[in-house]
Amino acid sequence: MTAEQIIFLIVAAGIVGSALMVVTTRKLIHAALWLVAALFGVAILYAILQAGFLVVVQVVVYIGAIAILFIFAVMLTRRELRDQGPQVRKGWWVAGLLGVLTFAGLSFIVSQWEGFSKLAAEIPADADTLGSLATALVSPNAYVLPFEVASVLLLAALIGAVYLAVKK
């Protein structure tokens, strides 16, 4: 059991625990905050995976924007006595069962893959993953198109959100 593995297990437990709290906690504010915790855990995971840029993006975008948005939305839509009573629907056990089944199924399918237990290769010292990523995002031979499309998508979302939120 190397140090990496231990760190991984701790982080994984943290993520899973936070996620469980997100979906079960009664108060919605708490759910949003637990989500922040889970997102932090995912960021750490990215760091373990040596995707440095993604760590930053995760923290800035997910936690910094999306989670904040959630908190705003919760604030804007809260009412007294709302967070009382069960927060799950009547048929929640069906959903639980389905979740378990999904987990089992996914695990099973993936475990059938022969590269299931492979170990990661070492990153060569001179590999510039960040530079390659940047190049890939703007290179016409690579992913410039999805990149641009994503920006259009964001623009659309921006306009849409504004439109929806504007009081008539």
Partner 1 sequence: MATETLIWLLPLPPLLAFFLIVLFTNKNKALSHTIGVGAAGLSWLASMVVFFRAIGVEHLGSHPFNSSANWLPTGDTFFRIGVLIDPLGAAVLFFVAWTIFMIFLYSVGYQNFGQPKGDHDINGLPPHGATVTDEKGKKHTVLSVEPMYSRFFAFLGLFAFGMYTLVVSDNLLTMFVGWEIMGLCSYLLIGFWYGKPSARNAAIKAFMTTRIGDVFMLLGIAFLYSATGTLSFREIFTAETLHMLATTPAFFGLSAAGMIGLLLFIGTIGKSAQWPLHVWLPDAMEGPTPVSAMIHAATMVSAGVYAVLRMFPLITADFTGHGLTATMSIIAFIGAFTALFSATIAVAQNDIKRVLAYSTISQLGFMIAALGIGAYVAAAFHLITHAFFKALLFLGSGSVIHGMEHGVLHTGNHHVDPQDMYNMGGLRKKMPITFWTFLIGGFALSGFPILTAGFWSKDEILADAFAHGHWAVFTTLAVAAFLTAFYTMRQITLTFLGEPRTKEAEHAHETPWTMTVPLIVLAVFAIGYGWVGIPEHFPVLGGLIPNWFHEFVGGTLLEHPEAVEFSIWPLLTSLGVALGGLFFGWLVYRNVTSVKEDKSQIPVLKNKWYFDEAYDFLFVKPAYWFAETFIYKWMDKGLIDGILHAFGWIAGKLGHIFRNYFDAPVVNGFGDVVGEGTKKIGSAIRPIQAGRIQYYMVASLAVALLVAVLYFILA
Partner 2 sequence: MSIPLSWFLILSAALFSIGLFGVLARKNAIAILLGIELMLNAVNINLVAFWRYGTIAEMAGQVFAIIVFAVAAAEVAVGLALIISVYRQRNTVVADDLDLMKW
Q: Which of residues 100-119 bind partner 1 (CB under 8 A)?
A: 101-102, 105
Q: How far apart are CA 64 and CA 51, in angstroms?
A: 19
Each residue 7-46 as x (binds partner 2 by CB under 8 A) or -, in order, gives -x---x--xx--xx-xx----x--xx--x--xx--x--xx
39 binds, among partner 2, partner 1, none (CB under 5 to 8 A by kind): partner 2
Q: Which of residues 93-132 bind partner 2 (CB under 8 A)?
A: 94-96, 98-100, 102-103, 106-107, 110-111, 115-121, 123, 127, 129, 132
Residues with Cβ within 8 Å of residue 59, at least 6 apart in sequence: 39, 40, 43
Q: Is 79 exposed, middle or buried (0-12, 13-18, 19+ CB in 10 A)?
A: exposed
Residue nearer to partner 1 on the CB measure, 94 or 158: 94
Q: Which of residues 43-82 bind partner 1 (CB under 8 A)?
A: none
Residues with Cβ within 8 Å of residue 8, at least 6 apart in sequence: 45, 48
Output the six-digit token pair for 98.
């389905």
Q: Are 39 and 58 in contact (CB under 8 A)?
A: yes
Interface residues with partner 1 (CB under 8 A) are 89, 91, 94-95, 98, 101-102, 105
